[in-house]
Amino acid sequence: MPIAKFAIQRLLQAVFVVFVVTIFVAFAIRLTGDPAIMLVQESSNVTEADLERIRAAMGLNKPFLVQYKDFILGFFNGDMGTSFFRGPVSNLVAVALPATLALAVASMVVSMLISIPLGIRAALHKGGLSDQIIRIGSLVGLSFPNFWLGLMLMMVFSIKIPIFNSSGYEGPASIVLPAVTIGIILTATNVRLVRTAMLETLGAQYIMVARSKGLRERIVVYKHALRNSAITIVTYMGLQFGNLVGGLVVVEMVFNWPGMGSLALDAIYQRDYPVLQASITLLALMIVAVNFTVDLVYGLLDPRIRVE
């Protein structure tokens, strides 16, 4: 299949997924009840006419599909609706999205710093003691909940030994604990990906050539093998983006990190449905976009993927 056709096919798939997800979220949120009543539940002297006015103002008296269309058009024009309590949703997102992206990038960096050296070591000593230890370590890493690791780190490094603050954003150092938490969780999977990718590269003939030229092992491994595995490693890591977002949502809540996960969870606790709808839609869009990009890169690099 030519790459253009493959790209168009995957793009259509991505658009379809976005459509299904957004319509599901919009529909599910309408199921929970009348937002107009939720909005005024505090005040007692509200007449039916008042409710009608609120519904008209929020666009709730229109048919569902029209509301959906309005939401989507507004969403892509930067108007994400209005929170019940906190003003325009786009203002909230403008604060939360950079915070989440910063945490996501920092976690990826932490994870690469740990998983690349360990993965290389495991690949070089395949079947040996360090390989076994790394393998068991990675299994242990897959075996505890991310939020528990976060709480443990918080307990040790901000309560017993007060190096970092335990919650919220108080300067750049605040990112360390949440980023290390997610980074360690990602490492458990990434270290295996690095190991597999390196084993594949190290078996190639040009590595044998490089070795037979008498190059130092260090140069063979880092300059020849790692560089050639890099694209595979990055692509595999990209495929885990959905995983990463899942980790972000929970860990942000543990550390009160002011990102998209906290925004969505707070919206649930306060029944602030415009915020919930906008934040879930945005997170789903991000995941679909990353998956699409990774798919495309993958298809470009490995033509076998395109056959189906």
* Among 41, 137, 143, residue whose Cα is nearest residue 84: 41
CB atoms within 10 A of CB 305: 14
Nearest CB to other proteins, comparing residues 191 and 288: 288
- Ranges within 198-227 binding other proteins (CB under 8 A): 199, 203
Nearest CB to other proteins, comparing residues 13 and 228: 13
Q: What are the Cα distances from residue 234, in Å, to 95, 195, 231, 252, 301?
A: 28, 13, 5, 24, 12
CB atoms within 10 A of CB 123: 22
Nearest CB to other proteins, comparing residues 45 and 269: 269
| Interaction pattern, residues 121-160, with other proteins; x per rule: CB under 8 A | -----xx--------x--xx-xxxxxxx--xx-xx---x-
Query: What is the token pair recorded at 114?
Result: 């740990």
| Interaction pattern, residues 50-89, with other proteins; x per rule: CB under 8 A | ----------------------------------------
The residue within the footprint of other proteins, chosen from 243, 293, 297, 300 (CB under 8 A), is: 243
Contact between 238 and other proteins by CB under 8 A: the answer reads no
Q: Do 248 and 100 contact (CB within 8 A), yes or no?
A: yes
Contact between 32 and other proteins by CB under 8 A: the answer reads yes
The residue within the footprint of other proteins, chosen from 1, 11, 24, 95 (CB under 8 A), is: 24
Residues 158-196, buried b or exposed e (16+ Cβ, 10 A)? beeeeebbbeebeeeebbbbbbbbbbbbbbbbbbbbbbb
Contact between 264 and other proteins by CB under 8 A: the answer reads yes
* Among 222, 195, 200, 199, residue whose Cα is nearest residue 210: 222
Nearest approach, Cβ of 202 to other proteins (angstroms)?
9
The residue within the footprint of other proteins, chosen from 20, 73, 209, 219 (CB under 8 A), is: 20
The residue within the footprint of other proteins, chosen from 60, 238, 242, 305 (CB under 8 A), is: 242
Query: What is the token pair recorded at 266?
Result: 């707070």
Is residue 139 packed enough to be buried (19+ CB in 10 Å), middle (13-18) or exposed (0-12)? exposed
* Among 72, 43, 41, 70, residue whose Cα is nearest residue 57: 70
Nearest approach, Cβ of 126 to other proteins (angstroms)?
8
Q: Which stretch binds other proteins (CB under 8 A): 38-46, 62-70, 171-179, 238-246?
A: 238-246
Q: How many residues bind other proteins (CB under 8 A)?
A: 52
Nearest approach, Cβ of 128 to other proteins (angstroms)?
11
Cα torsion 170, 175, 181, 187 to 10°: value is 180
Contact between 107 and other proteins by CB under 8 A: the answer reads no
Residue bearing tokens 């949502």: 249
Contact between 25 and other proteins by CB under 8 A: the answer reads yes
Nearest CB to other proteins, comparing residues 46 and 86: 86
CB atoms within 10 A of CB 150: 25
Q: Do 259 and 279 contact (CB within 8 A), yes or no?
A: no
Nearest approach, Cβ of 187 to other proteins (angstroms)?
15
Positions touching other proteins (CB under 8 A) are: 13-14, 16-17, 20-21, 24-25, 28-29, 31-32, 126-127, 136, 139-140, 142-148, 151-152, 154-155, 159, 166, 189, 199, 203, 242-243, 245-246, 249-250, 253-254, 264-265, 268-269, 276, 280, 283-284, 287-288, 291
